[in-house]
Amino acid sequence: MLVLGIETTCDETSAAVVRKRMDGSGEILSNEVMSQIAEHAAYGGVVPEIAARAHVDYLDHLIRRALQRANVTLEQVEAVAASAGPGLIGGLLVGLTAGKALAWAAKKPFVAVNHLEAHALTARMTDAQAFPYIVLLVSGGHTQLLEVRGVGDYRRLGSTIDDAIGEAFDKVGKLLGLPYPGGPNVEKTAVDGDPERFALPRPMFGRKEPDFSLSGLKTAVRNEASKIAPLTRTDIADLCASFQAAVVDVIIDRTRAALRVSREAGSKPTALVVAGGVAANGAIRRALGRFCAEAGLKLVTPPPELCTDNGAMVAWVGIERLELGMTDDLTAAARPRWPLDAQVSTRHHGKA
């Protein structure tokens, strides 16, 4: 089964061709990604209008290249899948319209993909992970803990009540004068810092509900930086290390709470899956590895290139949904907001 996937929700333009192996995992035949970091660097963040225009400029070329590198034609793929939300409306419209047009022209089924579902199911593409499992979805725009019970069947255990973790990393990076994008540069700078120098708060720590709050931590970093300004390189490294250590502590505590809530409800998750751009953070991965070893859980961390936005994860959802007959017509709308736990399919509950 071959599916073409298109991703344009934010500032990565991507097209990919994926097929399903006999063992249930996916084989990525091509995964073309064009980053827009250079276009947005001068503004210190993603500018929606610039992102949408870049998708228009790049997408046709990337689709053509993805098909060529996979050595297939559009006629040979069995369906076309495109991200329909959540995300920036301009980018969503570019990718969704292109996907619909290709499906219509080639007379292929079309799948409108929830971008969050694509992150949540990536572990099934890379590791043939069986249901149910818990996913920690951490990115620039989303921070959620979800129970993944089947394709289209999700239970939200917790989420952020303010900033996403990736957003907090980026804002701290910008606050400390680090280059864009802030998140990866905070991680790099933290390597040389003292994580115990600044006594930063751990918001929501110990709460029964597995929710997150990052705005107070971000404000605490700003306050500490203001007290000792002007900042030296050592100050910046210590602030980054202290901030990252606080985030790691919060993630472990909130994940522990989510696992408890899931088990108390009678679920038996087989693994903890980490997805989203922040999942590439090494300190977070190492801490979650220790946590899972203690909790008796398998930890699944897809390769870093599959944690950030990409067309392969969208193509994989296309495969999963096509197998279950869960396709969409060409009236499917772009949805800037699309909660993953709002799309429940009890008909396929629990199937691996």
Judge whether residue 65 has pLDDT over 80.
Answer: yes
CB neighbourhood size of 41 (10 A)? 12
Are 103 and 220 within one domain? no
Rounded to an integer, what distance in angstroms lies between the CA atom of residue 29 and that of residue 23? 16
Which H/E stretch holds residue 282?
Answer: helix 282-295
Question: How confident is the model at residue 350, as a pLDDT?
Answer: 35
Q: Report DSSP letters for 161-181, one per residue.
A: SS--HHHHHHHHHHHTTPPSS
Are 228 and 286 within one domain? yes
Rounded to an integer, what distance in angstroms lies between the CA atom of residue 24 and that of residue 319? 11
Are 46 and 150 within one domain? no
Which H/E stretch holds residue 91?
Answer: helix 89-106
- Residue 77's Cβ-count burial label (10 Å; 0-12, 13-18, 19+) is buried
Are 164 and 278 within one domain? yes
Instruction: Quickly tell me which residue has 């959540």 as its tokens.
Output: 86
Percent of the chain's residues with pLDDT above 70: 97
Contact 270, 133 (CB under 8 A): yes
Which residue intervals of 128-232 are DSSP H helices?
165-175, 182-190, 215-227
Rounded to an integer, what distance in angstroms lies between the CA atom of residue 173 and that of residue 183? 6
pLDDT tens for each residue of 185-222: 999 999 999 999 999 999 999 999 999 999 999 999 99
Are 192 and 262 within one domain? yes
Are 120 and 235 within one domain? no
Are 280 and 183 within one domain? yes
Are 90 and 223 within one domain? no
Task: Assign residue 280 the CATH number of its domain.
Answer: 3.30.420.40
Q: What is the total count of domains within the chain?
A: 2
Question: By residue range, what is the domain housing residue 326?
Answer: 2-127+309-348
Are 161 and 287 within one domain? yes
Which pTM value belongs to this model?
Answer: 0.92
pLDDT tens for each residue of 117-164: 999 999 999 999 999 999 999 988 889 999 999 999 999 999 999 999
Are 213 and 160 within one domain? yes
Beta-strand relationship, 143-150 and 79-85: unpaired
- C-alpha separations of 36 from 14, 87, 104, 303 in Å: 11, 15, 29, 21
Rounded to an integer, what distance in angstroms lies between the CA atom of residue 345 and that of residue 163? 29
Are 158 and 292 within one domain? yes
- C-alpha separations of 138 from 51, 68, 129, 164, 207 in Å: 21, 32, 19, 7, 19
Question: How confident is the model at residue 180, as a pLDDT?
Answer: 87
Are 79 and 53 within one domain? yes
